Amino acid sequence: MKKFSMLKSVAVSTIAVMAFAPLANGASKPSAEDKSQVQSQTPKGWLYCATEESNYETFTDRNENHSGKSCGTLRSVVANPKPFGNLMQMIKATDYVGKRLRMSAWVKTKLKSGTGQLWLRIDPDGAKGEAQAAGCFDNMDDRPIRGNTDWTKYELVVQLRPNSTDIAFGLMLIGKGQVWLDDVTFEQVGPEVPLTGKYVSGAEATTKPDNLNFEE
């Protein structure tokens, strides 16, 4: 079952600086302030995980968008949320092995504290020895999004070594507030495009990314 295998993959990932908690099987209940169109559930194709699942919720927001009629969102629902909530996907690296990859995504934030951070992680085949076991990783730790921001395009660039097996990516909310995500795209870029990611050691995942414009 897909969700179970995802849970396993994420649980064994230690590469991402932060410890991933087990995935929630859907988000929590809508808060009182949102009575109308909130479907409090993880957007199709995406996964939700958090250090404390009940501290955040995620859903497809049909009242907000960068394109089309909807986008994904993640928000805190308690006074003092634990470090992070995360909306993410994991795919096989097959289409990009050996290439330089740029992920672009549009993000909007309304943050009372903390940061919003896109992240992109390349996982290597750990069985090929430590010398090759470093994957490329960027979580915008050096350029986090703070405060209230309108829709802005962000770019993350990583290199996939020949032993790359999986790609994981997403948007973290570290603190109190709400973040919105739309129009995530991937493209191969040339070596002249500077990396934003660094090589780190660590971990594993499925196939194609899904519902990247949140219209499904």
The residue type at 214: F
| E-strand stretches of 93-163 | 100-111, 115-124, 134-138, 148-159
Percent of the chain as helix, strand, coil, to the nearest 5: 10, 45, 45
If one asks whether residue 67 binds Ca ion (CB under 5 A), the answer comes out as yes
Burial class from Cβ neighbours inside 10 Å (0-12, 13-18, 19+) for residue 141 reads middle
CB 132 within 8 A of CB 65: no
If one asks whether residue 214 binds Ca ion (CB under 5 A), the answer comes out as yes
Enumerate the β-bridge partners of residue 187: 102
Question: 7 vs 87, which CB is nearer to Ca ion?
Answer: 87
CB 22 within 8 A of CB 49: yes
The stretch near Ca ion (CB under 5 A) out of 67-75, 87-95, 132-140, 153-161 is: 67-75
If one asks whether residue 68 binds Ca ion (CB under 5 A), the answer comes out as yes
If one asks whether residue 213 binds Ca ion (CB under 5 A), the answer comes out as yes
The stretch near Ca ion (CB under 5 A) out of 6-14, 47-55, 64-72, 139-147 is: 64-72
Least Cβ distance, residue 195 to Ca ion (angstroms)? 28
If one asks whether residue 204 binds Ca ion (CB under 5 A), the answer comes out as no
Window 97-126: residues binding Ca ion (CB under 5 A): none
Least Cβ distance, residue 169 to Ca ion (angstroms)? 17
Question: 43 vs 175, which CB is nearer to Ca ion?
Answer: 43
Cα distance between residue 214 and residue 78, in whole Å:
25
- Is 29 in a helix, a strand, or coil? coil
Q: What are phi and psi of 69, to 5 degrees?
A: -120, 0
If one asks whether residue 60 binds Ca ion (CB under 5 A), the answer comes out as no
Window 145-184: residues binding Ca ion (CB under 5 A): 182
Number of residues forming the site for Ca ion (CB under 5 A): 7
The stretch near Ca ion (CB under 5 A) out of 28-36, 137-145, 159-167, 207-215 is: 207-215
Contacts to Ca ion by CB under 5 A:
65, 67-68, 71, 182, 213-214
